[in-house]
Amino acid sequence: MNESQPDVRSLMDIMPAEWQQALELDDADIPVAVISEGSWWRAQRTDWRLGMLDDVRELVFPDMFLGRWHDRPIVYCCAYGAPRAVEVAHLFGSLGTRLAVQIGTCGGLQGDLRPGDVVVPDIAICHEGIASIYGAGERTSADSEWSATARSNLEDRGFRVHNGIHLTWYSIFAQSGAMVEQWRDTGYLSVDMETATTLAVANHFDMSGVSLLVVWDELVRGRSFLDRMDRADQARLDRANAAVFEVALDLVDAL
């Protein structure tokens, strides 16, 4: 006798209403934007960012915080690495969130990048292992209009802003000097661990996606986050880390 087998169902198959119920979100609390930050320093960054929002509460899923900016609901999450970034973008993309903003830091792969510069790429290379599941090929794209708006905003604030082909890679540990040289020679501008994932998921769910990344490591000079900076470079880095969140909130105002 042939017995029919039940369909296999995974988290990717869960419907929006189920996610909304699981998150215990009212319709009025579905965020218009989600801001995801790739950083080891979760407690510090979360304190910085949530201090600018009103009516903040942690959602049922840990480290995802709902708050209000000018009375508009947004979600902030410090999500380090692609496996975590995908969760944030997927959850709220499925609920109809309109804008996904990736912030954080990156390594510079070209000699003219300095600490405190900001990379706002239109194109990200997908070498992080997740973007392809959401329909991306070798590369994925940001929303060019939102990216241009963000670049203009940052330039008005006095930052050096760059646009080029950005690389998203698995891990800051799993990269050698030879890899960095190859990436530089290929023409990649910078590297992080989340951007391609966030942009690919945003495109999958018809969200606008943009990435604002502060240059920290100067990889082609052999300087990583382990190396101390002089006061001027540190000040530029700190100022840029504050500005990318402020600009993300400006984008929310423009929705």
Please name each of the domains of the chain with its CATH number: 27-254 (3.40.50.1580)
Dmax over Cα atoms in the chain, in whole Å? 76
Q: Is the pLDDT of residue 249 over 50?
A: yes
Per-residue pLDDT of 38-67, as tens digits, reads 999 999 999 999 999 999 999 999 999 999
DSSP the chain: --PPPPPP--GGG--HHHHHHHHT--GGGS-SEEEEEE-S-HHHHHHHHHTTSEEEEE-SSTTEEEEEETTEEEEEEE--SHHHHHHHHHHHHHTT--EEEEEEEEEE-STT--TT-EE--SEEEEESSSGGGGT--SEEE--HHHHHHHHHHHHHTT--EE-SEEEEES-SSS--HHHHHHHHHHT--EEESSHHHHHHHHHHTT-EEEEEEEEEEEGGGTB-TTSPPPHHHHHHHHHHHHHHHHHHHHHHHH-
Token look-up 């969200």 returns 207
pLDDT digits (tens, 9 = 90+) for 153-162: 999 999 999 9
Amino acid 10: pLDDT: 82
- Cβ atoms within 10 Å of 150's Cβ, excluding its own: 25
Cα(216)–Cα(41) distance, integer angstroms: 14
pLDDT band at 4 (very low <50, low <70, confident <90, very high): low
CA dist 192 and 124 (Å) reads: 10
Q: What is the per-residue pLDDT for 1?
A: 45
Cα–Cα distance measured from residue 103 to residue 142, given in angstroms and rounded to the nearest whole number: 13
Cα gap 163→150, rounded to integer Å? 11
Query: Virtual CA dihedral for 226, 231, 236, 240, nearest 10 degrees?
Result: 60
Residue with tokens 């209000």: 68
Q: What is the pLDDT of residues 69-103, one digit of tens each?
A: 999 999 999 999 999 999 999 999 999 999 999 99
Query: Is 60 exceeded by the pLDDT of residue 5?
Result: no
- Sorted by sequence, the CB contacts under 8 Å of residue 68 that are 6+ apart come out as 53, 54, 55, 74
Q: Is the pLDDT of residue 7 over 50?
A: yes
Q: Which residues of 105-137 are buried (b: 16+ CB within 10 A; e: fewer)?
A: bbbbbbeebebbbbbbbbbbbbbbebbeebebe
Computed over every residue of the chain, the mean pLDDT equals: 94
Closest CA to 128 of 58, 200, 67: 200
Which pLDDT score, from 0 to 100, does residue 163 have?
A: 98
Q: What is the pLDDT of residue 220?
A: 86
Q: Tens digits of per-residue pLDDT, 197-244?
A: 999 999 999 999 999 999 998 888 877 777 788 898 899 999 999 999
d(CA 210, CA 244): 11
Angstrom distance (rounded) from CA 234 to CA 199: 29
pLDDT of residue 3 exceeding 70, the answer is no
Q: Are 78 and 189 in contact (CB under 8 A)?
A: no
Structure confidence by residue, pLDDT tens digits, 134-190: 999 999 999 999 999 999 999 999 999 999 999 999 998 999 999 999 999 999 999
